[in-house]
Amino acid sequence: MSDPTASAAGSDPVRAMLDAGLLPVTRFGPSSRYAGIGLDALEGEGEDPPVPYLRRRLVPDPERFAEQYRVRVVEGDRRDNLAAHHIGSVDLWWRLADSNGAVDPRELTETAGSMLRITSAVDVPGADASGGNDA
């Protein structure tokens, strides 16, 4: 009996290219900080296969985020809950880290009383100090 997946891959040129490693594949959703980051591979030595890896993600300068308002961190705050409440998704906690210049995301909530900037997405204009819109 023949393998049905083999015949499907043989008739689908995209599947064949994916299987051959000719097209980059990532499993990161559009809200991931790794969305749009390309793949590369280190060539294996001898018979060893190439080792795939994500290309470097360059963290945007915090000044590229338009501040909307600030919130005070209270004891027990978590970055995922702050992101859900202020940005709309627990998955966007990394945007809080980027916009606040936190290399280690634990820095966001480790000090009760510190202030966090809540911002627009990178390079999206936001409200200015007078309450008007930059756009």
Tens digit of pLDDT for each residue in 13-58?
767 776 787 766 667 888 888 888 888 888 888 888 888 888 888 8
- Number of domains comprising the chain: 2
Residue 132 lies in a domain: no
For residue 86, tell me if it sits in a domain: yes
Residue 61 tokens read as 């300068």
d(CA 80, CA 13): 41
Q: Do the Cβ atoms of 101 and 43 come closer than 8 Å?
A: no
Residue 39: strand pairing partners? 54
CA distance 52 to 88: 32
**Same domain as 114, residue 86:** yes
* Stated pTM of the model: 0.66
Q: What is the pLDDT of residues 52-78, one digit of tens each?
A: 888 888 899 999 999 999 999 999 999
The verdict on 48 and 89 lying in the same domain is no
